[in-house]
Every structure is written in structure tokens, then in C-alpha cells.
Amino acid sequence: MSVKIPRGFKFSAVEAAIKRPGRKDLALIYSDVEATAGAVFTKNLIKAAPVKICIKKIASQKARAIIVNSGNANACTGKRGIEDANEMVRLVAKGLNIDERLVYPASTGVIGVPLPMERIRAAIPDLIGGLGKASLEELARAIMTTDTFPKYISADLKVGDETGTITAVAKGAGMINPSMATMLCFIITDLSVEKLSLSKALNEAVEQSFNRITVDGDRSTNDMVMIMANSLAGNDTITMKSKYYKDFKKVLNSITYELSKSIVKDGEGATKLIKVIVRRAPSRKDAELVARGVANSLLVKTAFYGNDANWGRIMAAIGASGAKVVEDKIEIYFNHLQVVKGGMSAGNDSTANELLKASKELNLIIDLATGKEEFSVLTCDISEDYVRINAEYRS
């Protein structure tokens, strides 16, 4: 994967044996200069210690460094969890000789287990000393938990006479559900973007990407998307009134969508990526209710895994969604193949079964035929491997 690193950003990744030895599990993202920052966090009322700390810090909309560990969520760890996360921040700030207020902690992994701080303390000097030596892929791998592949992406944007780069890294494969999904995403750019404009663009990007995916219907305690813009591209500052703001949002939306798609594709044990598209709903709320209801239905997801075009399960999920629907107007398509017409079989079940067997990606189109609103959600199937992975997660 071809990627560019924005000016002034460096990475580091080391092994601290946080959950088990044998892999890098502690990472650092650093900007040579102070950056404007924005973030979006999980809506789960149970929040991990680093999330609680970052929510307070981000009010300043300033940042220079993010320290991330995998293997341990540092969630439900009480006062000690806060103290441990703050100690990580202090150690990094001291080693980099920067203000503690500009260092943000993030964690992902097992809930309810204190961080092994003795090992983390010992690893931080090497983490700081290794700045600039890690690639984006090494950074992406260091923050993985049950992911099967690293997730990162990059794009350029020309603003006037200057060209800036937007690069992002993410992790996530399970405990993924809309309203942030266990996932982390860190976005860096050397563009100059006004702070309120940066936050607004990030929130809109998250809403159309990470908040529209689901793997298993579970919402994490640690979800976090953070962006840093350090202005080293030298462009005229992008604001909401700038003619380049729309272009910036377009690139940011594309990056977050592609990463969210990668997360669902990497869903624990998943074999199919499914885009649930609801059309002609009476309201956006009804379209969303149907899309999310179908995307989260275990019966629908297991049918897709079994290559069974069991559209009856989809109809049941539509009816249970709470949306306003008219049964005898509903049409359902697998890509362009119609399986339901007027709320009943279209007589294409056998062909649909063969289509499922041959498909790794599929559009599930639900036409309610009662309005003009649309909504879509990315989901995946559920297999035996999902049960195995999560049954053994702490072992």
C-alpha cells in the first residue's frame, strides 16, 4: 500500500509484552510542532480511563503526541487506571520535553485488567528513542488486537499553491457497532485547518463512516477517533468559508469510509462484507432503523454466512426495527437480483443462493416504496470463528 507521511510527523513502536510477548504493542505518534486537534469518542457510558482523560484534554484542541497501547483496554480499572494513563502521559512528555497537556493516551484490549506499568515504564525510553524509525504499517500493527491485517491510508490535497497530505491508521475487528465502534483511528495532516472547521469536518466524517458500521452490535468502552493538523504544509488556513473546505471534507470522508470498510471486512471470522441500503423510506429515521435493524440481526448475518438467501429473516428484521413500513410494498434485492416483490418471494431463491456463494461483497437493497429517504450501513456475516475468537479472547 502506497502511503505518504505528512510533514513533521514521526512514529515509533516497541514491544512492552502488555498481554503477551512476541509483538510490538506500544506505539507513539508525534508532531514536531504543536498541532490543532479534534476527536470523537465512544458513546458508551462506561468509558476507559484514557478516554476520560482525552475528553478533558481535547477541549484545548491542541496536541503533539499520542501514546497507544494494545492488549489492555485500561477500562473498568478505577482510580489506578486513571493514574496509570496519566503516568504514561507524564513519561512521554518528560522524554520529549513537551507539555503534558499536549500528550494523549489511548488503549485497546482486554477490559478490567490493570496495565502492566512496570513493563510499560521500561519500554517508554526505547519508544521515545525510536521516533522516526517505525513505518506507518508498523504503527498500524502495534495497535492491532484481533485484527488480521493492518489498516492505514493516505491521500494528498492541493490547497492553493501548496499540497498537503492526510494520512490515517485504524484498528478494529470486533466489538464494533454504530455510535463509534473496539476501534481506534488516528488521522494526521500537515495542512493548516482552523480548529472549529477541523472538528466539524471530523464529526461529519465519523458520522458517515465509523458510525455506520457494525460487526457484532457491541459498543466499546475505548473507541476514539483523533485528528492532528500541524500546518507544516504552509497553505492558507482552511476554514468553513474557504473554497477548499469542501475538498478537505471530501478527502477526509473518503479516508474514514475506506478505513471503516476495512474494519467491517476484517470483522472477527467474517467471510462477507455487506452493504445494507434502505431506499424510499418515509423518513430518514425510518430508513436508519431498518438499515441498523437488518445489519445487526444475528439471524440475517448467519444466513449470509451459510449462503442461504433466507429473505424471510430480512423481512422479520425490517418489521422488528420499529420503522414505519408497509409489508406488501417492500422489495428486496441482492445486488441487482430481486428476491422479494410486494413483500413476498420473487421466485429467485436458488439463483440468490448461488450469488451468495460467489460473493465476498454484496449490496443488500431494501426498497420500502413509501417515501424518498435513504440510509446505508456496512455489516458482515457471523461465523463459528467469531464465537471461537471471543470465547478465547482472554486466554
Identify the helix (H) or strand (E) that includes residue 103: strand 103-110
- Whether the CB-CB separation of 110 and 72 falls below 8 Å is answered with yes
- Helices 49-57, 78-96: axis angle to 10 degrees equals 50
Strand partners, 167: 154, 188
CB-count burial class (<10 Å; 0-12, 13-18, 19+) for 34: middle
Residue 317 CA to residue 334 CA, distance in Å, equals: 16
Cα(136)–Cα(167) distance, integer angstroms: 9
Q: Dihedral (C-alpha) 90, 92, 98, 102: value to the nearest 10 degrees?
A: -80
Active-site entry in 42, 182, 189, 214: 182
**Whether 73 contacts 107, CB under 8 Å:** yes
Nearest to 187 by CA among 32, 25, 54, 9: 9
**Is 351 a catalytic site residue?**
no
Cell of 349: 431463491
Type of residue numbered 19: K
Per DSSP, 5 falls in state P
10 Å CB burial of residue 327 (0-12, 13-18, 19+) is exposed
SS3 126: helix
Using alpha carbons, list the distances in angstroms from residue 99 to 84, 188, 191, 334: 18, 19, 22, 54
The C-alpha atoms of residue 395 and residue 393 are separated, in whole angstroms, by 6
Decide: residue 79, CB within 10 A, 0-12 exposed, 13-18 middle, 19+ buried.
Answer: exposed
Hey, which residues are catalytic here?
Answer: 182
